[in-house]
């Protein structure tokens, strides 16, 4: 019984203390400049600055995988890129804004960048707009010719879905941090990987669709928390 109590307290520790720190999104592939959950809201790269000594990851201009772990039940993502590492704000949209539902693995298996970027170094940027704010991550890459193949770990978890959508909030953020925002209004031809998503974007869901999800999530967070506390008190008193 005593060891069970210990295990329970261990779980409780993670529930109460670690949850706020695991709140946004993690980039698995290509590796990000860094991931500090406390700075993830700092534009343009979540508090990190690219440098010449970064290890660069090859990214195929004809389409390559971006693998995320998302820790929000609903959020919008923008995928951008630029040449060089001067953070000059000249970001180019790679695909239209994506509205994504569901937790854990979210894999965009074939994101293209302009073919002319092959042979140059550059940055990829992901911006997430979720219920608790806007978060940023960047990846330092060298763009190479042809098409990449996603590794087998790059998958969508069950219950994960996504479609192209409009997010008024991200449009504002992008307007301030990019000079290429106009390209988002004229999405380039989606790759085969995203063409089905493009079709469903015509239903153009609005931000309001996200509100019940967020409320639902918060409600269950509280139920979970109170449940943990009640069971803990019962256990410790036993
Ligand atoms: C911005 O990036 C695009 C794509 O790489 C490039 O063609 C353009 O010249 C850049 N503009 C500025 C002002 O640097
Ligand atoms: C994950 O879901 C998105 C949206 O439906 C889709 O475009 C993408 O191809 C999926 N990823 C994989 C690896 O199947």
Where residue 124 sits, what CATH number does that domain have? 2.70.50
140 in a structural domain: yes
pLDDT band at 136 (very low <50, low <70, confident <90, very high): very high
Residue 136 lies in a domain: yes
Residue 22 Cα to ligand 1 midpoint, Å, equals 35
Q: Say how many residues make up the chain.
A: 238
Query: Is residue 29 one of the residues assigned to a domain?
Result: yes
Residue 39 lies in a domain: yes
Taking only the tens place, the pLDDT of each residue in 79-95 is 999 999 998 778 999 99
Tell me what the pLDDT averaged over the chain comes to: 78
Spacing, Cα 91 to ligand 1 middle (Å): 8
Predicted local confidence at residue 42, as pLDDT:
94
Assess if residue 216 is contained within a domain: no
Q: Has residue 226 been placed in a domain?
A: no
**Pairwise pLDDT comparison (184 vs 38), residue with the higher score:** 38
Read off the pLDDT band of 171 (50, 70, 90): confident
Give the closest residue (by CA) to ligand 1 atom 12: 90
Q: What is the model's pTM?
A: 0.70
Residue 138 has which token pair? 């960047």
What mean pLDDT is predicted for residues 28-47?
Answer: 94
pLDDT, average across residues 109-118: 97
> Pocket around ligand 2: residues whose beta carbon is below 6 Å from it?
107, 109, 154-156, 161-162, 193-194, 197
State residue 186's pLDDT score: 35
Ligand 1 in reach of 160 Cβ (< 6 A): no
Counted domains in the chain: 1
Q: Is the pLDDT of residue 150 over 70?
A: yes
176: in domain: yes
Q: What is the mean pLDDT of residues 20-32?
A: 82
Average pLDDT in the 72-78 region?
Answer: 96
CA dihedral 144, 147, 153, 156 (to 10 degrees): 120
Task: Compute, in angstroms, the gap from residue 108 CA to the centroid of ligand 2.
Answer: 6
Q: How far is the CA of 223 from the centre of ligand 2 (A)?
A: 31
Give the pLDDT of residue 107.
97
Supply the range of the domain harboring residue 118: 24-206
User: Best of 80, 81, 90, 118 to mutate for ligand 1, by most ligand atoms within 8 A of CB?
Assistant: 90
What pLDDT, on a 0 to 100 scale, did the predictor assign at position 224? 65
> Which residues are 144's β-sheet partners?
60
pLDDT tens, position by position, 9-24: 555 554 444 444 455 9
Q: Is the pLDDT of residue 75 over 70?
A: yes
Please determine, for residue 208, whether its predicted confidence score (pLDDT) is greater than 90: no
Q: What is the pLDDT of residue 87?
A: 87
């Amino acid at each position: 019984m005593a060891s069970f109590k210990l295990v329970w307290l261990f779980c409780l520790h993670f529930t109460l203390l670690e949850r706020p720190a695991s709140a946004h999104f993690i980039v698995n592939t290509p590796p990000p400049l860094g991931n500090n959950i406390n700075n993830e809201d700092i534009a343009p790269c979540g508090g990190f600055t690219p440098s010449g000594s970064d290890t660069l990851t090859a990214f195929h201009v004809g389409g390559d995988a971006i693998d995320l772990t998302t820790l929000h039940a609903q959020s919008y993502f923008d995928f951008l890129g630029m040449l060089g590492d001067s953070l000059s704000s000249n970001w180019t949209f790679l695909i239209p804004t994506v509205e994504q539902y569901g937790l854990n693995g979210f894999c965009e298996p074939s994101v293209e960048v302009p073919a002319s970027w092959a042979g140059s170094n550059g940055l990829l940027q992901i911006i997430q707009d979720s219920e608790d704010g806007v978060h940023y991550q960047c990846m330092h890459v060298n763009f190479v010719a042809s098409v990449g193949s996603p590794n087998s770990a790059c998958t969508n978890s069950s219950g994960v879905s996504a479609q192209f959508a409009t997010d008024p909030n991200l449009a504002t953020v992008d307007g301030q941090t990019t000079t290429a925002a106009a390209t988002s209004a004229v999405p380039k031809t989606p790759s085969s990987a995203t063409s089905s998503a493009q079709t469903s974007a015509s239903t153009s869901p609005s931000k309001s669709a996200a509100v019940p999800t967020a409320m639902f999530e918060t409600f269950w967070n509280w139920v979970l928390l109170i449940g943990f506390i009640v069971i803990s008190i019962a256990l410790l008193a036993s």
